[in-house]
Structure 1
Amino acid sequence: MFIEYLTNLLGTVYKVPGTIDPEKSFLELEVDSLSLAELGAQLADDLGIEVAEEDLSSTTTVAELAGLLESRGADIPA
């Protein structure tokens, strides 16, 4: 559920090219630190859940972030 939301967000808003493998880190997906900061802010706005900077590092995978959001009870916006 969150993997689809995040891969869609990364592809459309952050222009990550191609198919996004959820097991790849943000570094491997070439998402820079500024985009990670923006992503954290967007997740806070969209989901109402703060994501700490250390939870959203270049070595974090999409799947790990999805698990974190799920564990914190986030709801995907309609």
Structure 2
Amino acid sequence: MQKQLPYFADGSSASATAANLNQRVYAATKGAFNKIAQIAANELFGRNIRVATESLLSVLTEGLLNLRM
């Protein structure tokens, strides 16, 4: 995201998405991912650029467990 900052127009928005099927990796990196987004939001606040994150996590349901690919 840092290399993209010069291309953001004032008043624009940025979105970051993290998705990982390995739950241990997901749990270990979620805090760092959110902190990076928080720092970016603080740095871009003066330019009225908002930063949003999505941390996608699959929930094991009966339907997902029975899914055959």
TM-score band w.r.t. shorter chain: 0.3 to 0.5
Say which structure is richer in strand.
2
Normalising by structure 1, we get a TM-score of 0.29
Normalising by structure 2, we get a TM-score of 0.32
- For the pair shown, which has the larger CA radius of gyration, 1 or 2? 2
